[in-house]
Amino acid sequence: MNKYLVEIMTAALSLVLLVMNLVQPKFKEKLGIFTTIGLFIILMISLLLGSDGQSSFGGAYIFDSFSTFFKQLFLVAAILTVVLSKDQLISKKGEFYALITSALLGMMIMVSSGELITIYIGLELMTISFCILIAFDDDAKSKEASLKYIILGAISSAIFLYGLSLIYGVTQTTIIREIGEVISKTQVTPLVILGMIFLVAGFAFKIAIVPFHMWAPDIYEGAPTPITAFLAVASKAAGLAVFLRLFMNGMSSVSGYWIELVIVLSILTLILGNLVAIPQTNIKRLLAYSSIAQAGYFLLGIIANSNIGVAAILLYSVVYLFSNIGAFGVVIAVSKVTKSNEIKDYEHLARKSPFLAAVMLISLLSLAGIPPLAGFIGKFYLFLSIIEKGQLWLAFFSIGMSVVSVYYYLKIVKVMYFGDESRSFESIKVTASTKVVLTLSVIVLVIFGIYPTQLINLVMEISKNFLS
Phi, psi of 427 (to 5 degrees): -70, 155
Residue 316 lies in a domain: yes
Indicate whether 421 pLDDT > 70.
no
Q: 396-412, pLDDT tens digit by residue?
A: 999 999 999 999 998 88
Coil, strand or helix at 85: coil
Position 420 scores a pLDDT of: 63
Q: 140-182, pLDDT tens digit by residue?
A: 888 888 888 888 888 888 888 888 888 888 888 888 888 888 8
Residue 241 lies in a domain: no
Average pLDDT rounded to a whole number, residues 89-101: 76
Position 28 scores a pLDDT of: 63
Average pLDDT rounded to a whole number, residues 443-461: 91
DSSP letter at 93 equals S
The domain tally of the chain equals: 1
Indicate whether 319 pLDDT > 60.
yes
Average pLDDT rounded to a whole number, residues 25-40: 80
- The type of residue at 203 is F
**Gap between the Cα atoms of 310 and 463, Å rounded:** 6
C-alpha 254, offset from chain centre: 27
**Gap between the Cα atoms of 284 and 413, Å rounded:** 15
| E strand or H helix at 225 | helix 225-230
Residue 174 lies in a domain: no
Position 71 scores a pLDDT of: 92
**pTM recorded for the entire structure:** 0.92
DSSP letter at 421 equals T
Q: Which of 87-101, 114-128, 353-367 has the lowest mean pLDDT?
A: 87-101
Q: Which of 308, 110, 278 is nearest to 207 (CA)?
A: 110
Q: Which of 467, 323, 449 is nearest to 381 (CA)?
A: 449
Position 440 scores a pLDDT of: 92
**Gap between the Cα atoms of 455 and 461, Å rounded:** 10
Range of the domain at 260: 252-468
Q: Which pLDDT band holds residue 215 (cuts at 50, 70, 90)?
A: confident
**Gap between the Cα atoms of 189 and 465, Å rounded:** 30
For residue 66, what are the β-bridge partners?
Answer: none
**Axis crossing angle, helix 307-338 with helix 374-389, rounded to the nearest 10:** 150
Q: What angle do CA 157, 158, 160 make, to 5 degrees?
A: 65
Highest mean pLDDT among 87-91, 128-132, 185-189: 128-132
Q: Which pLDDT band holds residue 27 (cuts at 50, 70, 90)?
A: low
Residue 212 lies in a domain: no
Position 53 scores a pLDDT of: 66
Position 445 scores a pLDDT of: 93
Residue 396 lies in a domain: yes
Position 281 scores a pLDDT of: 87
Indicate whether 75 pLDDT > 90.
yes
Position 1 scores a pLDDT of: 55
Position 89 scores a pLDDT of: 59
- Euclidean distance between the first and the last CA atom of the chain, given in angstroms as a whole number: 26
**Gap between the Cα atoms of 7 and 9, Å rounded:** 6
Position 25 scores a pLDDT of: 64
For 252, how many CA atoms within 13 A lie in the half-sphere containing its CB?
A: 16
Average pLDDT rounded to a whole number, residues 217-223: 85
| Percent of the chain residues topping a pLDDT of 90 | 27
Q: 187-204, pLDDT tens digit by residue?
A: 778 888 888 889 888 888
Higher pLDDT, 29 or 183: 183
Coil, strand or helix at 342: strand
Position 422 scores a pLDDT of: 53
Position 102 scores a pLDDT of: 92
Average pLDDT rounded to a whole number, residues 9-18: 89
Number of Cβ within 10 Å of residue 177's Cβ equals: 17
Q: 235-263, pLDDT tens digit by residue?
A: 888 989 999 988 888 787 777 788 888 89
Position 347 scores a pLDDT of: 83
Residue 418 lies in a domain: yes
Q: Which pLDDT band holds residue 352 (cuts at 50, 70, 90)?
A: confident
Mean pLDDT score across all residues of the chain: 86
Higher pLDDT, 126 or 213: 126
Q: Which of 103-112, 294-303, 378-387, 422-431 has the lowest mean pLDDT?
A: 422-431
Position 140 scores a pLDDT of: 80
DSSP 185-218: HS---HHHHHHHHHHHHHHHHHHT-TTS-TTHHH
| E strand or H helix at 61 | strand 61-63
Residue 273 lies in a domain: yes
Residue 183 lies in a domain: no
